[in-house]
A and B are shown apart, each in its own frame.
Chain A
Amino acid sequence: MTAPSLLLRHSPAIVGVASVIGLFAAIEGLIRASVINRHVVPLPSQVLLAFPRVIAEEDVLGRFLTTAGEAAAAALLLAATAIPLGVLLHRTQLICTAVEGWIAAMAAAPLVLIYPLFLVIFGRNALTIIMIGFAAGLAPVILKTLEGLRATRPVLLNVGRSFRLSRAQQFWKILLPSALPSIFTGMRLGLIFALINVVGVEFLINFGGLGQLINDLAERYDLPAMYATICFVILVSVVFFMGLEHLERWLRPRQ
């Protein structure tokens, strides 16, 4: 591939990156020209310089591990309960039809608002945070599991029947493998919802990992460090989402 065509292919990405850099440069300029108050928006260069300080003094990596651990615990709970629940619902058509609408409604409700209730029940600790993450991911994982099981091609089921597979064999050899891509999608969504809510509740109840750090820095009015930590959280989530997407693509069976 020649250099110009390579440039042409990547030109949208280059324009995107250049615009982001340009935006930050413009903000830097406006603050230096005192158009934007630097006690409200710190200089982007200051924010950049605050990164090493935040990493060295505020134990960002340890806090990252705390947050990641809470999200992972919520994901494990989801995998252990929501997927089996989806499978059970798929088996009992009557109950499934009866409650599926309720589960979809639950997905639309602002569930994270029950965090004060969880504070009362579980106390102000990691369990509250994990349970909020779990509750947020519950509906999508159940619904995606159901969707995957239901989308199993009838031909495959008939092949299983013609081999006189038992119900368990039918499930392990045919239904589950066929539903796996959809279940993965569900788990990816569940994990994303869990992470969003874990960070959010950490911030709200001022407890735990990265979310608490932002709250802390805001209360100390350490603006550059606060903006740097917010950038760090965004960076971590974006890397995490990209990683999950690649993982899903890699795991999906080639057709």
Chain B
Amino acid sequence: MAATQAIGSAPHRRAFVRQVLVARAVIAVALLAFWELVARSRLLFEGVVPQLDVIARGLGRLLAAPAFYTNLQTTAGEVGTALIIGGSAGLLVGLVLGANRFLGRAFEPYLYYLGPTPKIIFFPIMIMWFGTGPGSKIAMGAVSCFFPVALSVAAGMRQIDQVLIRVGRSFRASSLQMASKVYLPAMRDPVVNSFRLGLGVAVIGVLLAETKLSNRGLGFMVIDSYSRFDMPAMYALLIVIFVLAVGLNAGLSRLARSGNGARASAALG
């Protein structure tokens, strides 16, 4: 990245990496110190910006509470089911639209422009269709992750080396064989990447739906801590959720090294 442009030799690079680590530590400490200062200054309303040790204790309390793990399980189950339903639908649609130019040109514009619309506004409809329980949250997550998966798979299909496709055709492979032997293996990275994008928006869809109407899940815990004005618990929850989301995202992007889809990244409604 920026480091490698300017610095050539290995010792220099190592020194630069060390400097970067030091810079990171300094910035992190400075940010935390600034936070603590704001907390102690009493400039803001009491409790809005709690001191660091209060947040740390909140985090400890949260991680020690059995309720946290049952709610985490609920949310993880909802997100997982949403990803399976919305992701496989998106994968199927993406494969069809990517393989067939005519269908792609007929229907992809709809996906492309529907993708970035705010999905949460469908929540009242989902409640009516699937009830107030986990069903409507799963539906929210599935609808959210369908679009980036479909768009990014369709885009990935079009980037496949044409030689591979011609080889498949010359062997008279059936459509099913073409999908399982040529398209899917050639598209491992775009598919993994599309599920990474899909997972990100599915998490948002499920958690937001939980904050709006539910009595279970991490989203419910966030809004519950808000209504009880339990700020340390809210900070602790947000920290845990962000760490989990960023960690999952980093894990999946390590699985698929290549980044694809400027188109799909815009579809994160």
Please list the residues of chain A having a beta carbon within 8 angstroms of any beta carbon in chain B. 11-13, 15-16, 19-20, 40-41, 93-100, 105, 108-110, 112-117, 119-121, 150, 189, 192-193, 195-197, 199-200, 203-204, 211, 214-215, 218, 226-227, 230, 233-234, 237-238, 241-242
Q: Does B114 contact A (CB under 8 A)?
A: yes
**Within 8 Å CB of B124, what residues of A?**
214-215, 218, 226
Who on chain B is nearest to A198 by CB?
B118
Complex CA distance for A97 and B238, rounded to whole angstroms: 26
Distance in angstroms between the alpha carbons of A84 and B195 in the assembled complex: 33
Q: What's the least CB distance linking B198 to chain A, in Å?
A: 13
CB pairs A–B below 8 angstroms (12 shown): A16-B105, A94-B20, A108-B246, A108-B249, A116-B234, A120-B45, A120-B226, A193-B268, A211-B121, A218-B124, A230-B125, A234-B117
A121 adjacent to B44 (CB under 8 Å): yes
| One of A12, A113, A195, A214 near B211 (C-beta < 8 A) | A113
Q: B234's contact among A40, A108, A117, A203, by CB below 8 Å, is which?
A: A117
A110-B23 contact in complex given A12-B105, A16-B106, A196-B117, C-beta closer than 8 Å: no
Q: A116-B223, A196-B269, A215-B124 are in contact. Are A204 and B211 (CB under 8 A)?
A: yes
Which residue of A has the minimal Cβ distance to B267? A192
Instruction: Give the docked Cα–Cα distance between A121 and B129 (Å).
Output: 35
Q: Which residues of chain A are within 8 angstroms of B114 by Cβ–Cβ distance? A: 234, 238
Let me know if A230 and B222 touch, CB within 8 A: no
**From DSSP, what is the main secondary structure of chain B's interface residues?**
helix
From B109, B231, B242, B269, A110 is in contact (CB under 8 Å) with B242
Bound-complex Cα distance A88 to B260 (A):
28
A13 to B7, CA, bound (A): 52
Partner of A109, one of B110, B118, B231, B245: B245
- Determine whether the beta carbon of B110 is less than 8 Å from that of A20: yes
**Interface centre among B27, B125, B225, B229, by most A CB within 10 Å?**
B125
How many Å from the CB of B143 to the closest CB on chain A? 12
